[in-house]
Structure 1
Amino acid sequence: MLRKYTFLSFLLVCCFSFSGLAQTYKLPAGKKFHKVKFQLINNLIVIPIEVNGSELSFVLDSGVGTPILFNLADQDSIQLNNVTEITINGLGEGDPINALKSTGNFVQLGNAKNTSQNIYVVMDAGINFSPSLGIPVHGIIGYDLFRDFVVDINYINKTIKFYDPNLYRYRTSKNTRVVDMSVIRRKAYLDAFVMINKTDEIPVKMLLDTGSSDAVWLFEDERIQLPEKHYEDFLGQGLAGNIYGKRTKINHLKIADFILSDAKAAFPDMETFTTITDFGGRNGSLGGEVIKRFNIAFDYTNKKLILTKNSNFDKLFQYNISGIDLQHAGMRYVSERIADANGVVHKDAKSYGNVQIVLQGATRLSLVPEIIVSGIRQGSPAHSAGLREGDVILAVNGKRIHRYKLQEIMHMLNFKKDKKIKVLVERYDNDLLFSFVLKPLFD
């Protein structure tokens, strides 16, 4: 069954160019950098940006050229300047899509401003990644910010400093390496090595893609061969549709002298890339699940990457062991008893959601996001147990899920191998309980 979204492997990749150059982003005179706090959602960096005075949320995506807007339905209004119709291509199984091109827009990221930013606008309401991330996301932005600043990302503190390239000083420590990168067609590439089947290390040229939540993507060829142990999976969604492939793990990934063992890897079906005529020697990509293991600075001006190993470095790579994908699907009311038989309100009667209705001082109805099963991998523990696409998740292991964020629910469902999972769902107005055990994928 086709799945429109996936949470643990969200991906957005675009392959197009914009004729002409937007004006640059600039900081106030004498200011060294601008610091931004970001949200890290499923390995993706989400930052606040104003477009012509409207406050929006963007994924910071080093794999995209011109900024793209989508999912504007929750905006009362947004001004877009000098609009014309165009057609663009994106990765996925679908056809090219219609879009708008807008020029001369005022875009502001704190103190950093661009008075003439080019923007694409995708009008297809079906292209909306907010349900899979659990928060509103209105677009993606990349190259223009990386071009004009040294972008210094601290994944542990969840902050980014956008430096004036002339005022940035490289950090030095025993855990830091400065490596060369190349910038080709507005995207950054890094030379690395992979060991796949306990054979020799293979040199690879990899796209650095902060807009992918995945770990490693590899393109199969005479040197790079798919390991015997793998499974078919939905890898993500591009602008033109769903992306499928094989998921596996490799012995290790080597960047400079940093070695990531048992790295999660995917081999996408190459039919996805029919819109790309020249890979330029690229062998794959590195996404957020690898990049977040470093505090990383992109210096496009000098074509350098500053990598500092952080506390994420030795964490195990995360797999969707249960086989369940989730997404937000509107809102629903939940009923909670907040007082005892004597009318005394519980001290821990925490409210959830932005809308509550209290009935006779004892029961509260709260409006909370509805979480549904958006897809199930064939043959997975959840599929074998009888869960179905469209089931509304009510509780996991006895915990009512409206108390948790989407990422936290996914963690409950994939906590560790051999753990028993109990999922309470609503299906056709009936509450059903399913149980399954998380089995390792490659042991």
Structure 2
Amino acid sequence: MTRIIQALTGILLALTLAGAAPDGGPNANPDYNQFRFTDSTKRFTVVKFRFINNLIILPFSVNGSDSLMFVLDTGYGGVLITELQNNRVLTLNQARKVQLQGLGKGKAIEAYASMRNTFSMPGIVGENIDLLVAIDDIFDFSIRTGMVVNGMMGGGFLKNFIVEIDYTQKELKIWNPKYFRRARLKKYKLYDLELPDDKCFATFNVTANGKSAPMKFLIDSGLSTPLWVDIRTGTTIAPSATSIYSYLGYGLNGDIYGQVSRIPSIGIGGFSFKKIIAAFPDTAYIGSVSNLNNRHGSIGSDILRRFTVLLNYPEKKIGLRPNSSYRSPFFLDMSGIEIGSVLPGFPGYRILTVRSGSPAEKVGLRVGDQIVSVNDKLAITIKMSELLEILNGKKGTTIHMEVLRDGGLVKVRFVLKDVI
């Protein structure tokens, strides 16, 4: 029997309630949570992706729906739907409420756990897929990317394939392992992977501050910044004297704060990086999470995008090959504001966060201010990627900005400054 059981914030669910509800744990049936080629003789398929705010965004159909957009997150194992457009109906199978706990200081959130769902994209199908549907939009992906994003697709999507991520061409080349050309491996520097619960971990030898030691990292394509380090693990990477305390991002259970520092020089797995931005989360925001798999930190997409990345889950290998962005500088937002879309899919932006002590705070910009113009150009004529480039521009650049606040127009001027 199928019926509408609840209207959620931005989500309208039709749940098929036949059979037993899922228990939220891993399913031992080998036919569950499997993606495959619809044509078993196909060698590979190429999938174009959107790349916004250092996030890979891919289209999938769920149970025959129109395309939904998912962030590819190798730091997560499953599938999580965080939002749908208003009045959209999504049919899910066998669902019940569960509690989710993750990074952030907030309380556990409620979600629906559903099983035996079908995902598809051209040439690929996923059958008997378990997924979670968050009752509230916890990540604001759509606001932060400027387009409608419906959730996260984790490493379970990758486990039956060999995948090459080409950040320069913005495409995934998804190989049937039977037909993968082994000669291609010569292009990459290869490392071993650990894949507990389909999450992607790798250990690299790291050199920093005159010390060298192996460090275990979560390879996290859903983390838009370069590097997170857990200071509790006593690693060779430590904050510099000029670090600042800042907003780092958003976790499953709320915002995350910590130290941000620029590391003069660091070697990771034989690759060297200069003036890299590293974040050191405050233990108050991560201390309640017990399942960190003994990792020292996370490598995010601002490092990964500097390579063509080979993910070979069947043989537990990751390959890295530098691309044209390898030597590009690492930027910390020099304005001090994080922006988001007023209405995803349409131009128009508001301020989500303001960093303490930043140029933006010093001229009085506030959370919630709606941006009207930047450097005499109307905000509605600027793409989000262009606006981010302006705010991450050259140190010393003067920014003229008009914002709407409480029905009135406020004009400010500030100079971009590298605070670390």
TM-score bracket relative to the smaller structure:
0.7 to 0.9
2:57 matched to which residue of 1? 46
Q: Does 1:255 align with 2:268?
A: yes
Secondary structure of 1:93's counterpart equals: coil
2:114 matched to which residue of 1? 102
2:34 matched to which residue of 1? 24
State the Cα deviation string for residues 278-330 of structure 1 (Å, max 9, x = none): 53331000000000000111001111112111011010012111101111123
2:131 matched to which residue of 1? 119
1:301 matched to which residue of 2? 314
Whole-Å Cα distance in 1 between the matches of residues 148 and 183 of structure 2? 34
1:144 matched to which residue of 2? 156
Secondary structure of 2:119's counterpart equals: strand
Asked whether the 8 Å contact 1:151–1:162 carries over to 2, the reply is yes
Asked whether the 8 Å contact 1:192–1:254 carries over to 2, the reply is no
Alignment of 1:268-307 (within 5 A): 268-307=281-320
**CA apart distance, 1:120:** 0.6
Alignment of 1:149-160 (within 5 A): 149-160=161-172
Query: Given the alignment, which residue of 396, 399, 407 partners 1:418?
Result: 396
Q: Does 1:371 align with 2:382?
A: no
Shift of the 143–173 alpha-carbon distance from structure 1 to 2, 3 Å rule, reads closer
AA paired with 1:120? L
Whole-Å Cα distance in 2 between the matches of residues 396 and 289 of structure 1? 26
1:310 matched to which residue of 2? 323
Query: Given the alignment, which residue of 76, 88, 92 partners 1:64?
Result: 76
Whole-Å Cα distance in 2 between the matches of residues 157 and 99 of structure 1? 36
State the Cα deviation string for residues 238-264 of structure 1 (Å, max 9, x = none): 121111111112133323322122111
Query: Given the alignment, which residue of 89, 94, 113 partners 1:77?
Result: 89
Shift of the 394–193 alpha-carbon distance from structure 1 to 2, 3 Å rule, reads farther
Q: Does 1:89 align with 2:101?
A: yes
Whole-Å Cα distance in 1 between the matches of residues 315 and 125 of structure 2? 22
Q: Does 1:218 align with 2:229?
A: yes
Query: Given the alignment, which residue of 387, 393, 410 partners 1:409?
Result: 387
Alignment of 1:187-198 (within 5 A): 187-196=199-208, 198=209
Asked whether the 8 Å contact 2:239–2:263 carries over to 1, the reply is no
1:181 matched to which residue of 2? 193
**CA apart distance, 1:17:** 7.0
2:141 matched to which residue of 1? 129
Query: Given the alignment, which residue of 280, 285, 309 partners 1:267?
Result: 280
Secondary structure of 1:104's counterpart equals: strand
**CA apart distance, 1:432:** 2.3
Shift of the 44–283 alpha-carbon distance from structure 1 to 2, 3 Å rule, reads same
Using the size of structure 1 for normalisation, the TM-score is 0.84
2:341 matched to which residue of 1? 328
State the Cα deviation string for residues 90-124 of structure 1 (Å, max 9, x = none): 21111111111111111102211122111111011
Asked whether the 8 Å contact 2:207–2:268 carries over to 1, the reply is no
AA paired with 1:199? G
Asked whether the 8 Å contact 2:339–2:349 carries over to 1, the reply is yes
Asked whether the 8 Å contact 1:41–1:133 carries over to 2, the reply is yes
AA paired with 2:36? K
Secondary structure of 1:166's counterpart equals: helix
Instruction: Tell me how large the CA RMSD over aligned residues is.
Output: 2.1
AA paired with 1:273? I
Secondary structure of 2:163's counterpart equals: strand
Query: Given the alignment, which residue of 241, 249, 252 partners 1:236?
Result: 249
| Unaligned 5+ runs, structure 2 | 1-22
2:363 matched to which residue of 1? 385
| Unaligned 5+ runs, structure 1 | 1-15, 332-352, 354-367
AA paired with 2:281? P
Asked whether the 8 Å contact 1:38–1:159 carries over to 2, the reply is yes
Whole-Å Cα distance in 2 between the matches of residues 258 and 175 of structure 1? 15
Whole-Å Cα distance in 1 between the matches of residues 183 and 152 of structure 2? 28
Shift of the 220–125 alpha-carbon distance from structure 1 to 2, 3 Å rule, reads closer
Q: Does 1:209 align with 2:238?
A: no
Whole-Å Cα distance in 2 between the matches of residues 249 and 429 of structure 1? 39
Secondary structure of 1:248's counterpart equals: strand
Shift of the 215–116 alpha-carbon distance from structure 1 to 2, 3 Å rule, reads same
Whole-Å Cα distance in 1 between the matches of residues 303 and 215 of structure 2? 15
AA paired with 1:176? Y
Shift of the 23–391 alpha-carbon distance from structure 1 to 2, 3 Å rule, reads closer
Whole-Å Cα distance in 1 between the matches of residues 281 and 223 of structure 2? 13
Which has the greater radius of gyration? 1
Asked whether the 8 Å contact 1:376–1:389 carries over to 2, the reply is yes
State the Cα deviation string for residues 313-352 of structure 1 (Å, max 9, x = none): 0100121111011111239xxxxxxxxxxxxxxxxxxxxx
- Count matched residues: 391
Aligned residues: percent identity? 31
